[in-house]
Amino acid sequence: MHQWINALADHQSRGEACVLVTIIEERGSTPRNAGSKMVVSASGLFDTIGGGHLEYKALHIARQMLEEQRTTPHLERFSLGASLGQCCGGVTVLLFEPMAAVQAQIAVFGAGHVGRALVPLLAALPCRVRWIDSREQEFPEFIPNGVTKVVSEEPVDEVAALPPGCYCIVMTHNHQLDMELTAAILKRNDFTWFGLIGSKTKRVKFEHRLR
């Protein structure tokens, strides 16, 4: 059930482009109801919008969009009559949404309880995550797809290895380490976004020391 959800998450975790096809409108007799979805990749088809020639046409359109590397959504209306070889007689409107290959790179410093809550949520998004901590025992046994576990005795050294434009999130167990990471990330100054966990007092102290 809802095979398309797992397929979409899997493709995004692997950085493979695909198209999400959704029935957004139905009139009269149609094979499946509005809201039905399927995922189309260059080599696969996951879930169904009802089968038959409608699905074949949708598959062809989605694969053409992938071939042309289109990035904008596309709407198409289909009459389920003789021209499609389907006797339903209704009308279906399909939305084709290109899901591009992974773009965002995220570095999470800290495998404490907040990191363990955050990383699985990030793993469900179209991004790649580097999860960094010096304490291997803090990482869970299962690491989600799209997440690379990095055990490093010197987490600050990992800042230099991050790709330009990375999203950086610092939430370690140690305030001094947070400070050193913050200074290293700000010194690089090529991140897309940088967030640091902490109280208002911590923020004031960090801003004062960094200035």
Give 30-43 pLDDT, tens digit per residue.
667 888 899 999 88
* Structural domain harbouring 125: 104-210
Our CA angle for 180, 154, 114, nearest 5°, is: 70
Query: 9 and 84: one domain?
Result: yes
Give 96-123 pLDDT, tens digit per residue.
999 876 668 999 999 999 999 999 999 8
CA atoms within 13 A on the CB side of 56: 6
Helix, strand or coil, per DSSP, at residue 56: helix
Q: In Å, how far are 92, 94, 144 from 22, measured between CA atoms?
A: 10, 6, 27
Residues 113, 173: Cα–Cα separation, whole Å? 10
The domain tally of the chain equals: 2
Query: 88 and 109: one domain?
Result: no
Structural domain ending residue among the three candidates 64, 99, 134: 99
Asked if residues 151 and 134 have their Cβ atoms less than 8 Å apart, the reply is yes
Mean pLDDT over the full length of the chain: 88
| pLDDT of 95 over the 90 cut | yes
Query: 75 and 133: one domain?
Result: no
Give 162-178 pLDDT, tens digit per residue.
988 899 999 999 999 99
Structural domain ending residue among the three candidates 99, 119, 143: 99
How many of the other CB atoms lie within 10 Å of CB of 56? Answer: 12
Query: 130 and 202: one domain?
Result: yes
| pLDDT of 13 over the 70 cut | no
